[in-house]
Structure 1
């Protein structure tokens, strides 16, 4: 389970919570411009946009959970169990595996508009990276400073949705989440007035009552609504430090506390890490379940014209000041 959202205040920010019952060897990975991206059914790309994100590196291949490229385009894959459907090879399309789709898009595209055009020819292949690394059922959010879209490979084929909300969680499909928001159109950050009956003296007994009914459970539908409300009502003074801290505060509001969300296998889903990426400047900020201190990695501190991956092990050591 996961939550992702976009935020624009001076710069463009993109990130997510990643919620699972166990780690997957994740680390922050920078892919420079001349690292060779190989694909099962497409030619190797050796000259492309550099990118930074969280990935598992297997056989020198970065399997990105999310990333942004040097042009400010971001993309994240989120769990989409029960609805994700991948397909056999199709002769007339770009056949891209689910684990290849993030580098396929971010290596070539500067904007959401370009990504959408590329997706018109994509077929998500039903193949695994290797036998020991099975496919994950995913859908994706792609965003730049101007717009966001959601990509879902379902039984009917590949669907792309405009996403003016700038939020994505998990099941159900995105069109349900957007419709479901209409049930909460009366929520407000403002101090509420009495709309029940003016003849009855009803007054709020506490601040925050304008948002009574805002969901607080860990389900994907509730996290979508809560994240959308917080994102569209948060205040930041526009500085980098305040933007980043406010972004993480939203993620904290929808994070999973270990022990409070059990899976059908009786394991504990929890937020493994949270990230906020300044996509404008290529700066990756993250926290982990073990370490709530914000860590920072700038992709432009590295040689982006290199051919080798740059990998950063996560700092999981608790830091209490």
Structure 2
């Protein structure tokens, strides 16, 4: 099956309900070098695909299409996923617990602050460091049982690796930012998002729409900040 990269995700989602079905389709896929348009050329994308149980990472590299089981459900950009996973070995001593003095029994070292078990956890804005930070945050975070608590916790996890305007320069007056963050409750069919300028979480109920329609349904991003004034 010859598929352009910009067709890849709808091609998968339109035919598969499980990762097992995805892997079967990927056995016969051939990604072809076709740009979406002159203004939107191909990008070296990495994809994460998940069902309710497991996730995989899909990467198109010079050696061909690589498919990795993704046990942590985290993905960033380059380097490739196998390198990102190997890099986690460098942080094997990072812990959410109060650390022990392993430096030397001859020194009386002090635990002077909470969170010192995570000293060494990357805080820079490179993709490899953000992979480590997101993996640690996700794997150690604890959510409540309600829908609201789960949504809140999800956006806190993503917020730990946000890109803020001004910290990564792309060009003279252009900076990399986290344009939007989003998640979906696949049981209820509700898509949640917030944007860089709007911290309020917005929801769209997919089951309120005609999912058999032949017409594309779209909603503009609510990008302006919404502030609730408590004393007015």
- TM-score by length of structure 1 reads 0.69
Report deviation, 1:165.
Answer: 1.7
Alignment length (residue pairs) = 228
| Number of the residue aligned with 1:310 | 217
Runs of 4+ aligned structure 1 residues displaced above 6 Å come to: none
Runs of 5+ unmatched residues, structure 1? 1-93
What does the per-residue CA deviation read over 1:141-174, in whole Å, with 9 as the maximum and x for residues that have no partner? 1111211111111111111111112100001111
Cα offset, 1:199, TM superposition: 3.8
Query: Residues 283-302 of structure 1: CA distance to partner in whole angstroms, max 9, x if unpaired?
Result: 11111111111101110111
Alpha-carbon displacement from aligned partner over 1:76-123 (angstroms, at most 9, x marks no partner): xxxxxxxxxxxxxxxxxx100000000110000001111011001111
Once the two structures are superposed, the pairs formed by residues 229-248 of structure 1 within 5 Å of their partners are: 229-248=136-155
Relative to structure 1, is the Cα distance of residues 265 and 178 closer, same or farther in structure 2, using a 3 angstrom cutoff? farther
Residue 154 (structure 1) aligns with:
61
Q: Secondary structure at the match of 2:170?
A: coil
Q: Once superposed, what is the RMSD of the aligned Cα atoms?
A: 1.3
Corresponding residue for residue 111 of structure 1? 18
Quote the Cα distance in structure 1 between the aligned partners of 2:119 and 2:45: 32
The answer to whether residue 91 in structure 2 is matched with residue 218 in structure 1 is no
What is the match of residue 184 of structure 1?
91
Partner residue of 1:122? 29
Distance 1:182 1:238 in 2: 31
Matches within 5 A, 1:153-172: 153-172=60-79
**8 Å contact 1:193–1:203 — kept in the other structure?**
no
- Structure 2: runs of 5 or more not aligned: none
Structure 1 pair 266/157, CA: closer, same or farther in 2 (3 Å)? farther
Matches of 2:161 and 2:187 in 1, distance apart?
A: 25
Residue 292 (1) aligns with residue 187 (2) = no
Aligned counterparts of 1:173 and 1:304: Cα–Cα separation in 2: 35
Alpha-carbon separation, structure 1, partners of 2:197 and 2:217: 23
More helix by share: 2
- The structure that is strand-richer by fraction is 1
Q: Matches of 1:258 and 1:131 in 2, distance apart?
A: 28
| Structure 1 CA distance for aligned equivalents of residues 36 and 223 of structure 2 | 27
Q: Give the C-alpha shift of residue 198 in structure 1.
A: 3.0
Deviation at 1:266, TM superposition (A): 5.7
Q: Provide the residue aligned with 2:82 in structure 1.
A: 175
TM-score, structure 2 normalization: 0.94
Contact 1:194 1:202 in 2 (8 A): yes
Partner deviation per Cα, 1:204-232 (whole Å, 9 max, x = no partner): 10000000000011100000000000000
Instruction: Supply the distance in 1 between the matched residues of 2:131 and 2:217 (Cα, whole angstroms).
Output: 33
Distance 1:286 1:300 in 2: 17
